[in-house]
Amino acid sequence: MTYKLDLPQELEHVHHTFHVSNLKKCLTDETLVVPVEELQVNDSLQFIEEPVEILDQQLKQLRRSRIKLVKVRWNSKHGPDSTWEREDYMKDKYPHLFTEQDLISGRNP
């Protein structure tokens, strides 16, 4: 059995016919609504999560070393989401989240 969905104009690039096994019951939560224009998908139509801002920082003490961590807010498909990430990784991959002075001096935001 298949269902044909009546999708809005902004979703015209999405295939509108689905097998019933792909559909799941959904109870909407208005606080989790993400505007369609903010969604980013790759060529295989998978959601691309991008970091939005650095919220906090901390120094994690391990047995013989310390790791700088930053709390990152992501544009998540499930609503606002944040995770702790290694600062060096985030600076390499997303330098735009850090000020130029932070990148030069190695300081945290």
Q: Which SS3 state, helix, strand or coil, does residue 48 take?
A: coil
| pLDDT tens series, the chain, 109 aa | 777 778 888 777 777 787 878 777 777 777 666 666 666 667 776 766 788 888 999 999 989 999 999 999 887 766 667 889 999 999 999 888 887 545 444 544 4
Spatial distance between the Cα atoms of 63 and 70, rounded to a whole number of angstroms: 20
Domain segments of the chain as ranges? 51-105
Model pTM score: 0.51
Spatial distance between the Cα atoms of 98 and 108, rounded to a whole number of angstroms: 8
Q: What is the DSSP letter of 41?
A: B
DSSP H or E segment with residue 93:
helix 87-93
For 70, list phi and psi in degrees, rounded to 5: -130, 145
Closest by CA to 57, choosing from 71, 47, 44, 45, is 71
